[in-house]
Amino acid sequence: MNKNIKIYIAGHKGMVGSAIWRKLEAEGYTNLIGKASKELDLRDQQAVKRFFAEEKPEVVIDAAARVGGILANNDYPYQFLMENLQIQNNLIDEAHKTGVEKFIFLGSSCIYPKLAPQPLKEEYLLTDSLEATNQWYAIAKIAGVKACEALRKQFGKDYISLMPTNLYGTHDNFDLKTSHVLPAMIRKFHDAKENAHVPVELWGSGTPMREFLFVDDLADAVYFGLNNKLADNLYNIGTGTDLTIKELAELIQKTVGHKGEIIWDSSKPDGTPRKLMNVDKMKNAGWQASTTLEEGIKKTYQWFLQNNGKYKQVKL
């Protein structure tokens, strides 16, 4: 792809969008566009229409979404459904109407049924019920996948959907009320270490299995998708390996250097028992992840330490 092509990265300030921006800059792309949410409200259809008319992007990468963990999804179901629908519908429709030929839509592995066979294959989409705690976000993302698929089918557009597994990395959200499990654990173990290694309480039983992908690997997959015409509309992006939440907690505890006890609150929900991605389709296309979980957690914790002023420490 021409290094001067005009690429709009929606959500370029977030963990995923900023990783994609860094990757493209490093590869020599010189015509990247990004707008902060205060400059462009992607939920506003007219604002998005004006933006496309003025900037005329040639490629769009949709890394913009309202995201959060189990607690946030459970507390704000309407916002997670409606705002994500508004954001992606405005971007996809305006990209189509203004002649954008290449569009990369990013979603999440939560689009797949809660009890689907493991590892999750792309064809399991819409074959059973979703996980109740994050169904609102999942339904919005499924609609985006299907919108891109419809444009491929009806208009021959090169619109693809990449579904990453659980993401983590630099520029993550470490707020304990709205963060995902891995950054929340980093924050909890760090604060506990700073408070004389007091015990850390974690939700659930620790038995569910989870897969984690370092965000720079997702950015690399997006770069691969930009520079290759992929045969299908939907691809899983992950490592193809998982571990228990208990094993994850112990790895993070070791990385952070916390010496205290871990207490599991089994009265809290576990969520999906297992969520491992089958990544054969993307691997066969020519891409696979390269960062180990241990290496990725170390990089993420180092970034957290360097930026810890942003996160008010909790007295435990």
Residue positions forming the annotated binding site for substrate:
188, 203, 210, 270
Amino acid at position 73, single letter: N
DSSP 8-state code for residue 132: G
Contacts of residue 78, Cβ cutoff 8 Å, sequence gap at least 6: 136
Residue stretches of the annotated binding site for NADP(+): 11-17, 106-109, 141, 164-167, 180
Closest to 26 (Cα-Cα) out of 42, 3, 6, 44: 3
Under 8 Å between Cβ of 96 and 152: no
- Tell me how far apart the alpha carbons of residues 223 and 251 are, in angstroms, rounded to a whole number: 30
- Tell me how far apart the alpha carbons of residues 86 and 115 are, in angstroms, rounded to a whole number: 28
Which residues are identified as catalytic?
137
Residue stretches of the annotated binding site: 11-17, 106-109, 141, 164-167, 180, 188, 203, 210, 270
Contacts of residue 151, Cβ cutoff 8 Å, sequence gap at least 6: 92, 96, 103, 157, 159
Closest to 296 (Cα-Cα) out of 246, 238, 244: 238
- Tell me how far apart the alpha carbons of residues 292 and 283 are, in angstroms, rounded to a whole number: 17
SS3 302: helix
